[in-house]
A and B are shown apart, each in its own frame.
Chain A
């Protein structure tokens, strides 16, 4: 049996002496598409840092790809929350994807026309392959700063995927995109999740553009978290328990979820959290 991509048992995270969340248990299986939800400051990004081994747990146990967090970061694709590249960034999209593959290597790469240099060909082929996978073939040769937010995001996803990670972590990848782009990028992520057998873990404010694609949801609020299938977690009962106040989840006729009665509703996108 293959180990779970991520497993947390009664985990607690503490930053600056303050407990961010405690008693969090969850499992993400191989090839699952998971979204981490919750209001600002509830500890969504903290969870990503704990998984990457950048923040040690204060209590509990965590296992990532069958080992301690941080042990296999080369098999994790990571896409942090970001503001896009502006037009003065003069580097091709394909170069950025290539850096995702071998940007950590020291020394000068040998040119591929030298006899006996095959690695460079294989690397170039992999870069082209992953660019096709995210559908960026028509603009990957252009300067990344000249591309739209959605195009940049696809190339960044390609850069995170190029090393064939087992786990793909995305922090607010839909944040700066317009609604049609949000849903196409979410669909793209689900397709990758299935075809590449990579567990995808995505942090988001707004569940609606991604909800149809999700296998699981982790919802952070009030210093705790609930994990499970989307319809189990995003329910009046679970959210009322998490927040400790009565919450009502309404389903609109088009299937969209509206959360009523919480201090800061996640479907109302206000600002980026730190």
Chain B
């Protein structure tokens, strides 16, 4: 049994736990709304765009974090005309898919041009908790406070517009403006989350906790709380395991949140079956 107190001996580990906690809360809240709005594909594209952003920033010699934020904000603006109203429709997926392919190709080009980043490629794609400095933690906290604050402010109109755009618009909710604002917030959340989980594993915090929460409850407030709880638990546990293991942190966080998702689905299926049996008896 390893000594858990050891986790807090190094400043880099303390930074990682703080940054992970901040990111988990933000990703769970934004992700819950993303799942309700069915914009998972748009979110995935933003996370793929984060990769060329980070690789490009490394190539240009500027902080990688800036690359994440700039690429995701730009991506949100590019996608916004394609993602109209509340929910995504299949015709938009062609535009989104095209943007995604270009993003990946650019990222690969930047990596090929810059041979020194090759060592960091794992980190960009699959996450790292090494080298998160105190300044980065502060920036992440500021981004998280801003995104969660904006979502809280717009929570009811946003949920209304996501479920029933036409009725919401008729009662005066600015459906289109909210849609664009949400994509920008989603971009920020993806950029911040990618710095912990890597750009390919963003969904482990953005989608899986929210999806698990939706399996467990149809109450909006309870769903948000459960999503945040799951995201925090898997992030901190994943960081702790990764500290003692040779495998990347993104892998551990993903495995843990996936396991919880499977448990939730199996649990609900069993509960539904027992309910049916009681009803039949």
Nearest chain A CB to B172's CB is how many angstroms away? Answer: 6
Q: Which listed segment binds A: B73-81, B150-158, B184-192? A: B150-158
Docked-complex contact B163 and A91, CB < 8 angstroms: yes
Given contacts A91-B36, A99-B160, A109-B156, contact A79 B218 (CB under 8 A): no
Docked-complex contact A99 and B164, CB < 8 angstroms: yes
Max chain A Cβ within 10 angstroms of own Cβ: one of B171, B172, B217:
B171
Query: A107 contacts the other chain (Cβ, under 8 Å)?
Result: yes
Q: Which residue of chain B is the closest to A91 with respect to CB atoms?
A: B218
Q: Whole-angstrom distance between the alpha carbons of A92 and B223 in the complex?
A: 11
Other-chain residue from B171, B217, B218 in contact with A104 (beta carbon distance below 8 A):
B171
Q: Which residue of chain A is the closest to B159 with respect to CB atoms?
A: A99
Docked-complex contact A95 and B220, CB < 8 angstroms: yes
Q: Which residue of chain A is the closest to B174 with respect to CB atoms?
A: A104
Query: A116 contacts the other chain (Cβ, under 8 Å)?
Result: no
Nearest chain A CB to B164's CB is how many angstroms away? Answer: 7
Query: A82 contacts the other chain (Cβ, under 8 Å)?
Result: yes
Q: Whole-angstrom distance between the alpha carbons of A159 and B160 in the complex?
A: 11
Q: Whole-angstrom distance between the alpha carbons of A80 and B171 in the complex?
A: 12
Other-chain residue from A78, A95, A99, A104 in contact with B219 (beta carbon distance below 8 A):
A95
Q: Which residue of chain B is the closest to A160 with respect to CB atoms?
A: B167
Other-chain residue from B153, B157, B166, B219 in contact with A103 (beta carbon distance below 8 A):
B157
Interface positions, chain A 81-109, Cβ under 8 Å from B, are 82, 85, 88-92, 95-96, 99-100, 102-109
Docked-complex contact B171 and A73, CB < 8 angstroms: yes
Given contacts A91-B163, A108-B155, contact A103 B168 (CB under 8 A): yes
Docked-complex contact B153 and A107, CB < 8 angstroms: yes
Q: Whole-angstrom distance between the alpha carbons of A246 and B157 in the complex?
A: 50
Docked-complex contact A96 and B218, CB < 8 angstroms: no
Docked-complex contact B168 and A80, CB < 8 angstroms: no
Nearest chain B CB to A75's CB is how many angstroms away? Answer: 11
Residues of chain B with a CB closer than 8 A to A194's CB: none
User: Interface residues of B, CB < 8 Å — how many?
Assistant: 26
Docked-complex contact B156 and A82, CB < 8 angstroms: no
Query: B170 contacts the other chain (Cβ, under 8 Å)?
Result: yes
Residues of chain B with a CB closer than 8 A to A73's CB: 170-172
Q: Whole-angstrom distance between the alpha carbons of A88 and B163 in the complex?
A: 12
Given contacts A73-B172, A90-B214, contact A159 B167 (CB under 8 A): yes
Bits for B124-159, please: 1 = Cβ < 8 Å to A, else 0: 000000000000000000000000000011111101
Nearest chain A CB to B214's CB is how many angstroms away? Answer: 4
Docked-complex contact A106 and B166, CB < 8 angstroms: no
Other-chain residue from A85, A102, A143, A160 in contact with B156 (beta carbon distance below 8 A):
A102
Query: A74 contacts the other chain (Cβ, under 8 Å)?
Result: yes
Q: Whole-angstrom distance between the alpha carbons of A255 and B153 in the complex?
A: 54
Nearest chain B CB to A73's CB is how many angstroms away? Answer: 6
Interface positions, chain A 19-69, Cβ under 8 Å from B, are 52, 54
Q: Which residue of chain B is the closest to A89 with respect to CB atoms?
A: B163
Residues of chain A with a CB closer than 8 A to B155's CB: 107-108
25 CB < 8 A contacts A-B: A74-B171, A78-B166, A79-B167, A89-B163, A91-B36, A91-B220, A96-B164, A99-B156, A99-B159, A102-B156, A103-B160, A104-B156, A104-B160, A104-B171, A105-B156, A105-B157, A106-B157, A107-B153, A107-B155, A108-B152, A108-B153, A108-B155, A109-B156, A143-B218, A159-B164
> Which 6 A-B residue pairs are closest in the complex by CB-CB distance?
A103-B160, A143-B218, A80-B166, A90-B214, A99-B160, A78-B170
A105-B157, A107-B155, A108-B155 provided; 7 other pairs, C-beta below 8 A? A73-B172, A74-B171, A80-B167, A80-B170, A104-B173, A107-B153, A108-B153
